[in-house]
Amino acid sequence: MPVVSAKEILDDANKNIYAVGAFNINNMEFLQAIFRAADAEKSPIIIAISEGAMKYAGADMLVSMTRTMSNNFPRIPVAIHLDHGSSLNAVMAAIKAGFTSVMIDASHFQYEENLKMTKQVVSLCHPIGISVEAELGRLQGVEDNISVAERDAVLVNPEEARDFVASSGIDFLAPAIGTSHGAFKFKGEPKLDFDRLKKVKKYTGIPLVLHGASSVPEASSKKFEEFGGNLKGAKGVPFDVLKDAVKFGINKVNTDTDLRISFLARVRESIYTDASQIDPRKIFGPARDYVVDVIRERMKVLGSSGRC
């Protein structure tokens, strides 16, 4: 299957109640790990590329590597998606480089400005078959003991989501329901606002996206610390919470931190246990293999295994 828009992948996930991982890449090893996991699990994938990744490796480089991998694994549906695009310029750079899907993240602006920018992106992308994601609410953890008003100020407003989706024409929406990026998501219980999520799904019906969805797997963080790292207080979204999120309407699960921690945990192990190793392939190779297993486990949890 050729590289497709993320809409194509996510519409099926929405219809059949499962989620597809959107995995971030910055280099070849992560990309290979994602494709190898997808091949083993028979899972569709979304390759997420941030503006930071474009700056680090070059958008053309990342897109051509992804297209090459896609040619090597023709059975796997794959979308090339701009993660957290912050401006029209970033979206245009992604289109020029050959992305098939974009996120415009104007969630830090007021509602009207967010809607205006999102509409511009939709009118740029839809005529050329590129799917569009937008975000509502702010991505940050919310403590149990905060007031209703404070909670409402951070998390998605379901009625607003209904109007936003109807007037923007976006293909999928990222509603803030209590996750945050990185390895330190929760101080207490890892809880998400599922009542809000259910309402957003009911009011919009479109595929929904969970950002900040990494689980911080125990084996990876243990290894990271065993070999000299520090991840004190790290906590992710547990698998059972992820499964419920999928049940209540999440179809795209953004994952970067888990890959970062796992890769570097294994790099740390190699450096520690093989101190005279000077061949980077002997260090990055096992780290890449380790990430494959982490991604495969995630595909099973999300229900994307066996879908292609």
- Binding residues for ligand G3H, rule: CB under 6 A, are 24, 50, 52-53, 83-84, 181, 256
CB of 33 to ligand G3H, least distance (A): 16
Work out whether 85 is an interface residue with ligand 13P (CB under 6 A): no
Return the range that interacts with ligand 13P (CB under 6 A); candidates 25-33, 38-46, 119-127, 210-218: 210-218
In the residue annotation, 274 being an active-site residue is answered as no
Q: Which of 12, 83, 171, 193 is catalytic?
A: 83
Number of Cα atoms under 13 Å in the Cβ half of residue 127: 5
* Alpha carbon separation from 171 to 5, 134, 275 (Å, rounded): 10, 9, 49
Query: Binds 252, which of ligand G3H, Zn ion, ligand 13P, none (CB < 5 to 8 A, cut-off by type)?
Result: none
CA pair distance 77, 1, nearest whole angstrom: 6
Question: Kind and range of the H or E element at 88?
Answer: helix 88-97
The answer to whether 211 contacts Zn ion (rule: CB under 5 A) is: yes
Residue 78 binds what, of ligand 13P, Zn ion, ligand G3H, none (CB under 5 to 8 Å, by partner type)?
Answer: none
Nearest alpha-carbon partner for 254 in 23, 13, 17: 23
Size of the site for Zn ion (CB under 5 A): 2
Classify the phi-psi angles of 295: left when phi > 0, otherwise alpha if psi is within -120 to 50, otherwise beta.
alpha
Of the listed pieces 110-118, 206-214, 223-231, 243-251, which binds ligand 13P according to CB under 6 A?
Answer: 206-214
Among the residue ranges 118-126, 146-154, 212-220, 265-273, the one whose residues contact ligand 13P (CB under 6 A): 212-220
* CA pair distance 9, 5, nearest whole angstrom: 7
Nearest to 222 by CA among 290, 285, 278, 280: 290
Give CA 308 to chain center in angstroms. 20
Binding site for ligand 13P (CB under 6 A): 24, 83-84, 181-182, 211-214, 254-257
Residues tagged active-site: 83
